[in-house]
A and B are shown apart, each in its own frame.
Chain A
Amino acid sequence: MDTDEPLIRARGLEKRFGDFEAVKGIDFDVHRGESFGFLGPNGAGKSSTMRMVGAVSPVTGGELRLFGLDPATDGKAIRARLGVVPQQDQLDEMLNVEDNLVIYGRYFDISYAESRAQARKLLEFVQLEDRATSKIMPLSGGMKRRVTIARSLMNDPEILLLDEPTTGLDPQARHVLWDRLYRLKQQGVTLVLTTHYMDEAEQLCDRLVIMDEGRIVAEGPPAELIRVHSPREVLELRYPAGANAEQGPALEGIGARQEVLPDRVLVYADDGEAALSEVHRRGASPESALVRRSSLEDVFLRLTGRTLVE
């Protein structure tokens, strides 16, 4: 394989279920060592894309190559080099933590002795070495997630696919997980993840695509996407319930652009404080106001007219 060739290459990639088009012809490349994300709301086509990339879901249109191989014909060879963290942990509650990993290693034809050694090493990596003989049930959500990540690493994968890796976890557990994933990235593992959390995308992704309704609407490093698609700061104004929409005329011309949401008005401006002063000067004082940096959420809102988490 050519070293310049991307590990994953998709051109015009489509996924249809009957009449429903989940993925409508997307292009992307993922390079070795990169951390690549699919950001988008539920139903954007992220998981369908991931399942095609995981060589389990047949491509219904366009072209997809992993390691230069076609999943339609070389699925097994591709999957041998992938690690998969599914949305649900799918741990075997009949087996203890270590055996969940050992049998998974067997799926890759790794000998029992090697598989057990690998399982112990990985449980240490996810800081669960003292839970090796524990049952699955009593583990917390974050711990189960870490077991799943350890399991996905049993075959020393070149690419790790993570579908919504921290959905449903509490903030502390998320940070523990991000730390582990960041270490993997430093070890050279290529990460491909889906998320609908902008903070996760910003934390973990070198580069990402924003998906909406089966299409890619933007692509780039998180910071660049924000710079290109949104002014530096956002002024969030909250007016009494139901009164947000009425503020339009009073706020006209302040900042670069405004978005009226059901619960607040967003004013996009390079200088949020200055914009707020102008709001006060015009006598349109809100019940509360805050100035923050622009985020991927704002980029998404700008590109699709909708919020990420609804």
Chain B
Amino acid sequence: MTATLPERRSLLGPAVRVFEHHLLVYRRVWKSNVLGSVIRPLLYVLGMGLGVGSLVDDGPRADTALEGLTYFEFFAPAIMATTAMQILTNDALWPIRGGFVWFGTYHNQRATPIDAGDVVTGVLLWHLAKGVLSAGGVAVVLLLFDGTRTAALLPAVVFAAFAGIAYSAPLIAFSASRETDLAYPNIQRFVIVPMFLFSGAFYPIDQLPGWMQTVTRLTPIWHGVELCRGVVHGSLEFVNGAGHLAYLLVWLVVGYVLSRRVFTAKLGV
């Protein structure tokens, strides 16, 4: 009766099944999603690039303020990282609650040969993919412009995705551990939006007071912005790049470990 079940299962197999579930759901909603991850950055790029850009690029400090870049060239690659952050943090809030409470997806998966840890791994695999898709949408927009049309958008997409899961991994642990979803909007208002504004995406952070610069350097998004901007414009040095990436990975690993702990507790009551 159980002849269809293979004797040995691969280590990652169960997590991939969780990933497949996300993929199947995404197939139902991808159109609006893709539209969102292209339209939104396009509006940013046009609005900020044309509006603010014309002010800055014709301003008195145009030569030095942005390391020789036009305003558009300066902020457009950063949008890849901030978009991945915004989309993945959103995915790390309500959809996680949905998996536990509204749809019970995680409980269903746990009732099969999938463990709580596999669920977390699968969700994060999906977040990585979703980060690539979101940042990829921005990259498509950037391909339209001379200043950002480069093959380096490809590694930038990957960096942006890692900036995104550096947020979503710990946030998944947080939202899974909440009894209600009342705190979720505050996460967006008081954590994500400030990070977006102070990430160094819209202006160099040396414009900020010293203590704020220090705070900004501690946020993963700044590292993501530096990675994306640096790689797109060929100014990223290996050591710096490795440092930024390592910092993002620390958040990812800590978040992953915490999430596994919370999921194991929640799904094994």
Contact = CB atoms under 8 A, between A and B. Distances in A.
Interface stretch (B51-59, B69-77, B108-116, B212-220): B108-116
B104 A90 contact: yes
Interface stretch (B22-30, B181-189, B236-244): B22-30
Interface in A99-144: 99, 102-104, 106-110, 114
A245 B6 CA distance: 64
B268 A80 contact: no
Nearest to A93: B103
Contacts of B29: 94
Given A104-B108, A155-B5, A79 B268 contact: no
B107 A86 contact: yes
A58 B2 contact: no
Interface residues of A, number: 35
Interface of A: 17, 51, 54, 56-58, 75-77, 79-82, 84, 86, 88, 90-95, 99, 102-104, 106-110, 114, 155-156, 158
B267 interface: yes
Interface in B12-52: 13-14, 17, 20-21, 24-25, 28-29
Contact of A108 (B1, B5, B20, B268): B5
Nearest to B112: A107
Nearest to A188: B1
29 contacts: A17-B269, A51-B269, A54-B111, A56-B111, A56-B267, A56-B268, A57-B268, A76-B9, A76-B14, A76-B113, A79-B112, A82-B111, A86-B108, A92-B103, A92-B105, A93-B103, A94-B28, A94-B29, A95-B24, A104-B108, A106-B20, A106-B21, A107-B109, A107-B112, A108-B113, A109-B9, A109-B17, A110-B5, A158-B2
Contacts of B4: 108, 110, 114, 155-156
Interface of A is mostly: loop
B115 A76 contact: yes
A25 B111 CA distance: 24
Interface of B: 1-2, 4-6, 9, 13-14, 17, 20-21, 24-25, 28-29, 103-105, 107-115, 267-269
Contacts, number: 90
Contacts of B20: 103, 106
A193 B32 CA distance: 42
Contacts of A58: 268
Contacts of B268: 56-58
B103 A90 contact: yes
A88 B112 contact: no
Contact of B24 (A56, A80, A103): A103
B216 to A, nearest CB: 37
Given A92-B105, A106-B17, A107-B113, A80 B25 contact: no
A167 B25 CA distance: 29
B25 A81 contact: no
